């Protein structure tokens, strides 16, 4: 699995496609201070009358054969700390949890679901690359400068790299003015509609589409390589959700799509689901059901401080709704 992912990335990096593609991700991040002119401030998007007005990003949950080892890995390699959630060891990252399910055999990490990778910022990407190497990091993509061409960045202005995790998922480290958990990169059969769903449902910050929104396919190099648009970039609290067309994956990771026709659900895969906290779970479920959103299960009580329900989001991404009154570390 690791070598297969690496071969795919190397092929497209060699064609300069990957660098151009990642420029869209870069534009959604915050470049480090002093690296080129600051962009003109954009007008804030109008407020969204969201279905659920008190929702917050809660967690990303990972399936692993070794939860303790996975926790050690994330704490060692990224800005994060060990914690305990609902009596189980976990990772706390600034404002949210990383949770780990123990499974009997490795879960699929193929890029055939709605979740591609997660990412942290790196104010000094060259220094971070050197630090990661001292840790014995396995690279899915080494330090890469995406300057020039369609990226719009000058040489030495913006870098990214992909760390391979023990579960053979990827964590991106990219130039930013912070070293926090910063984004989740996703795929969708309709990125514009998926972005609208997150905004309208949970009040995720961003700009809703209009009839003038560009929905035409866009490609990374001269219209001849990987499809990168239409896309969405929205912000769920401190987590930037970047949504690419699934056609990116079907070409960049074509070998993983053999005998797979449609985007797959996330449950049971390495990136299992996204958690969203709400203040009133019963109300949230009633509102969602009223909009025809699929309620998979619940509400159900776990204990006197935790109730949960499961719904299905765009592109079969599993979403756990949590009415969570458990303790957590201080917000950073």
Q: How far is CA 306 from the centre of its chain?
A: 25
pLDDT tens-digit readout, 221-261 = 655 688 999 999 999 999 999 999 999 999 999 999 999 99
Average pLDDT over residues 274-289: 98
Average pLDDT over residues 258-284: 98
Average pLDDT over residues 50-74: 97
SS3 237: coil
**Domain residue extents for the chain:** 2-36+46-324
Q: For residue 33, what pLDDT band results from cuts at 50, 70 and 90?
A: very low
pLDDT at residue 223, rounded to an integer: 54
pLDDT at residue 222, rounded to an integer: 53
Q: Is the pLDDT of residue 9 over 60?
A: no
Q: Is the pLDDT of residue 2 over 80?
A: no
pLDDT tens-digit readout, 171-227 = 999 999 999 999 999 999 999 999 999 999 999 999 999 999 999 999 886 556 889
pLDDT at residue 32, rounded to an integer: 40
Q: Is the pLDDT of residue 27 over 50?
A: no
Q: Give percent above pLDDT 70 in the chain.
A: 85
Q: Which fold has domain 2-36+46-324?
A: 2,3-Dihydroxybiphenyl 1,2-Dioxygenase; domain 1 (3.10.180)
Alpha helices in 122-245 (DSSP H): 125-134, 191-202
Residues 6+ apart with CB under 8 A from 133: none
Alpha helices in the chain (DSSP H): 2-14, 17-28, 67-77, 125-134, 191-202, 246-252, 281-290
Average pLDDT over residues 150-159: 83
């Amino acid at each position: 699995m690791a070598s297969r992912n690496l071969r795919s990335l190397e092929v497209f990096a060699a064609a300069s496609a990957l660098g151009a593609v990642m420029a869209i991700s870069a534009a959604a991040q915050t470049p480090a201070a002093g690296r080129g002119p600051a962009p003109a401030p954009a007008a804030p998007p109008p407020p969204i009358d969201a279905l659920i007005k008190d929702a917050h990003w809660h967690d990303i949950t990972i399936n692993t054969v070794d939860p303790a080892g996975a926790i050690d890995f994330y704490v060692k390699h990224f800005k994060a700390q060990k914690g305990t959630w609902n009596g189980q060891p976990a990772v706390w990252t600034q404002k949210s949890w990383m949770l780990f399910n123990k499974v009997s055999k490795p879960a699929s990490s193929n890029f055939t679901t709605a979740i591609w990778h997660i990412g942290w910022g790196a104010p000094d990407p060259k220094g971070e690359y050197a630090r990661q190497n001292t840790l014995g990091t396995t690279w899915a993509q080494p330090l890469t400068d995406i300057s020039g061409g369609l990226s719009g960045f000058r040489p030495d202005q913006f870098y990214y790299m992909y760390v391979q995790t023990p579960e053979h998922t990827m964590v991106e480290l990219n130039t930013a003015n912070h070293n926090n958990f910063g984004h989740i990169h996703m795929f969708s059969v309709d990125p514009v509609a998926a972005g609208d769903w997150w905004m309208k449902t949970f009040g995720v910050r961003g700009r809703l589409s209009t009839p003038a929104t560009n929905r035409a396919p866009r490609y990374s190099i001269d219209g001849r390589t990987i499809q990168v648009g239409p896309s969405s970039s929205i912000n769920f609290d401190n987590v930037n959700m970047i949504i690419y067309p699934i056609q990116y994956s079907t070409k960049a990771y074509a070998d993983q799509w053999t005998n797979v026709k449609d985007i797959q659900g996330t449950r049971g895969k390495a990136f299992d689901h996204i958690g969203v906290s709400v203040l009133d779970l019963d109300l949230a479920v009633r509102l969602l059901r009223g909009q025809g959103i699929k309620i998979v299960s619940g509400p159900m009580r776990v204990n006197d401080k935790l109730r949960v329900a499961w719904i299905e989001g765009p592109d079969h991404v599993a979403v756990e709704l949590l009415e969570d009154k458990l303790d957590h570390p201080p917000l950073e």
